[in-house]
Amino acid sequence: MSNQERDPRAVVTTVDRDDNFRMLEPRDVPLGGPRAMDVRRTLPQRGKSLIGAWCFVDHYGPDDVAETGGMVLPPHPHTGLQTVSWLFEGEIEHRDSTGAHALVRPGELNLMTAGRGIQHTEVSTNVGRILHGVQLWTALPDAHRHMDPQFEHYAAPVLEFPEGNVNVFIGSLAGGSSPVEVFSPMVGAQVDLHAGATMALPVAASFEHGVLVDAGEVSVNGKAVPRSHLAYFPPGDDSLLFEAQTDARLILIGGEPLDEQIVMWWNFIGRTHDEIVEYRTRWQTEVVSGATNAGHFGVVPGWIGPPLPAPTMPTVRLKPRA
Half-sphere exposure of residue 312: CA atoms within 13 angstroms, side-chain side: 3
- 150 versus 206: smaller Cβ distance to Mn ion: 150
Give the integer Cα–Cα distance in Å for 221 and 213: 14
Minimum distance of Mn ion from residue 185's CB (angstroms): 24
Cβ–Cβ under 8 Å, residues 302 and 74: no
Give the integer Cα–Cα distance in Å for 307 and 294: 14
- 83 versus 167: smaller Cβ distance to Mn ion: 83
Cβ–Cβ under 8 Å, residues 52 and 253: yes
- 237 versus 286: smaller Cβ distance to Mn ion: 286
Minimum distance of Mn ion from residue 79's CB (angstroms): 11
- 2 versus 184: smaller Cβ distance to Mn ion: 2
- 51 versus 136: smaller Cβ distance to Mn ion: 136
Minimum distance of Mn ion from residue 38's CB (angstroms): 17
Minimum distance of Mn ion from residue 83's CB (angstroms): 6
Minimum distance of Mn ion from residue 246's CB (angstroms): 33
Minimum distance of Mn ion from residue 137's CB (angstroms): 8
Minimum distance of Mn ion from residue 119's CB (angstroms): 9
**CA terminus-to-terminus distance, the chain:** 30
- 300 versus 318: smaller Cβ distance to Mn ion: 300
- 8 versus 235: smaller Cβ distance to Mn ion: 8
Contacts to Mn ion by CB under 5 A: 1-2
